[in-house]
Amino acid sequence: MPRNWAGTYEYTAPRIVAAAGVDDVLRVVGDSGPVHALGTRHSFTDLPDTAGTLVDVTGLPPQFSLDEAARTVTVAAGTRYGVLAVWLEERGWALSNMGSLPHINVAGASATGTHGSGDANPVLSASVRALRYVGADARLRDVRRGDPDFDALVIGLGAFGIVVEVTLAIVPTFRVRQDIYTGLSWDAALSDLATVTGAGYSVSVFSRWEEESIGHLWVKTRLESDDDPVPDAILDARRHIGPDSPLPGDDNVTELGGVPGPWLLRLPHFRLDAEPSFGAEIQTEYFVARPEAPAALSALRPLAERIRPHLIVTELRTAAADGLWLSPAYRRDSVAIHFTWHDHPAEVAALVPEIESALSPFGARPHWGKVHAFDAGRIAAVHPRLADARAVFERLDPDGRFANDHLRRLGIRS
């Protein structure tokens, strides 16, 4: 059976259908039995799996429809963000933000609350303005921003149907530079984390949980002019000068060194034309309210010696609050604490509950598509609108065609 993009989860569905058009999706949903959507396979769990048929939407024709007056673009569900970005840039338009990987598909990233970074930037799902999906009755349905079910369905986890088109908000194109700052101490970061995360349009903190230094900053600055100045220091971190990079294995990342460039070649960490991230890996991520992030990070530091042998890197990013019911940033500005692990499944499985225990006082919410140990009770405790979202899913799919073991385990479906 196929695996996810990192090779660390193997799908168990007995049948996969590669949809070449919307008619294929309608036909499969019209058949009896469980069914679920599959995108670019960037989840790390059984969230997109099923006991029936997986419908791969990445082969849907990549049609683009631009509405400049409304400032929106409509694309096929399986379209990769990087492909859409190139199309938009050629026409003078942009997305307000992107995830670190431009390889992810629009519908899958939206459905799981995937995100980039930036204090003023919400998760990518917040740019959704409309969805077209195949419902349980094997008919095409549309839901738009402002409709009663919209805030439940955007981050819908595949629990109500198979999305075939997504309409996103767009903005005029813009330019960005990327700079690396090294040597940020824990003391400085935890005493003034707001200065760190607010240092650019999009900021990431990369850490190996060393004793003195939290690590380095990756600051993406939105430019009005290519010669806009940037600071030489952020707290006690200094800007890295020169073409060489302090990042490990940086041959697949977008251009650094303060070189101005278009948004689509700077906002993602990784290049669309290269293999992303580190390869065989497991990912875990938790969102905490931004004011509580220093205390949450301090609570994790005693685990550093146990985390480090299995860790590739931790990344800290921010997301602005939104109103989507199952968003990890629902109603609170958030800091996301992300772990990219080596492919050490047993060790990661043992560490995750300890990390979650340390973060429990802060109401941490896990990323829906990444490895965690939450059960239905704990998910409900941190997602105040979960029962409301479940009621919408049950109403739209009363026979549970789109339910699976993962969704039932978390109480997202009955």
Local confidence band at 249 (pLDDT 50, 70, 90 cut-offs):
low
- Residue at token pair 């220091």: 233
**Which pLDDT tens digit goes with each residue over 10-41?**
999 999 999 999 999 999 999 989 999 999 99
Q: Cα dist. 102→54, 83, 225 in Å?
A: 23, 8, 25
Contact 381, 23 (CB under 8 A): no
Average pLDDT, integer, range 48-72: 96
The pair of three-digit structure tokens given for residue 272, joined into one six-digit string? 């669309």
Local confidence band at 248 (pLDDT 50, 70, 90 cut-offs):
low
Local confidence band at 277 (pLDDT 50, 70, 90 cut-offs):
low
Query: Looking at the domain assignment, is residue 153 inside a domain?
Result: no
Find, among 254, 315, 319, 251, the residue nearest to 281 by Cα: 315
Statement: residue 274 has pLDDT above 90 = no
Query: Looking at the domain assignment, is residue 250 inside a domain?
Result: yes
The pair of three-digit structure tokens given for residue 301, joined into one six-digit string? 């530091």
The pair of three-digit structure tokens given for residue 121, joined into one six-digit string? 């930037």
**Which pLDDT tens digit goes with each residue over 173-221?**
999 999 999 999 999 999 999 999 999 999 999 999 999 999 999 999 9
Statement: residue 381 has pLDDT above 70 = yes
Neighbouring-strand partners of residue 322: 330
Find, among 185, 177, 182, the residue nearest to 222 by Cα: 177
> What is the domain range of residue 234?
175-366
Average pLDDT, integer, range 340-360: 97
Contact 269, 204 (CB under 8 A): yes
Query: Looking at the domain assignment, is residue 94 inside a domain?
Result: no
Cα distance between residue 362 and residue 393, in whole Å? 28
Query: Looking at the domain assignment, is residue 181 inside a domain?
Result: yes
- So what's the pLDDT on residue 276? 67
Axis crossing angle, helix 293-300 with helix 345-359, rounded to the nearest 10 = 130
Give me the CATH number covering residue 205.
3.30.70.2520
Query: Looking at the domain assignment, is residue 325 inside a domain?
Result: yes
Find, among 183, 173, 222, 215, the residue nearest to 199 by Cα: 222
3-state secondary structure labels for all residues of the chain: CCECCCCCCECCCCEEEECCCHHHHHHHHHCCCCEEEECCCCCCCCCCCCCCEEEECCCCCCCEEEECCCCEEEEECCCEHHHHHHHHHCCCEECCCCCCCCCCEHHHHHHHCCCCCCCCCCCHHHHEEEEEEECCCCCEEEEECCCCCHHHHCCCCCCCCEEEEEEEECEECCEEEEEEEEEEEHHHHHHCHHHHHCCCCEEEEEECCCCCEEEEEEEEEEECCCCCCCCCEECCEEECCCCCCCCCCHHHECCCCCCCEEHHHCCCCECCCCCCCCCCEEEEEEEEEHHHHHHHHHHHHHHHHHHHHHEEEEEEEEECCECCCCCCCECCCEEEEEEEEECCHHHHHHHHHHHHHHHHHHCCEECCCCCCCCCHHHHHHHCCCHHHHHHHHHHHCCCCCCCCHHHHHCCCCC
Query: Looking at the domain assignment, is residue 291 inside a domain?
Result: yes
Query: Looking at the domain assignment, is residue 131 inside a domain?
Result: no
Altogether, the residues listed in the chain come to a count of: 414
- So what's the pLDDT on residue 252? 86
Contact 230, 221 (CB under 8 A): yes
Local confidence band at 1 (pLDDT 50, 70, 90 cut-offs):
low
- Average pLDDT score, the chain: 96
Contact 290, 335 (CB under 8 A): yes
The pair of three-digit structure tokens given for residue 341, joined into one six-digit string? 């692990």
Look at the chain and report how many structural domains it folds into.
1
Query: Looking at the domain assignment, is residue 310 inside a domain?
Result: yes
**Which pLDDT tens digit goes with each residue over 218-241?**
999 999 999 999 999 999 999 998
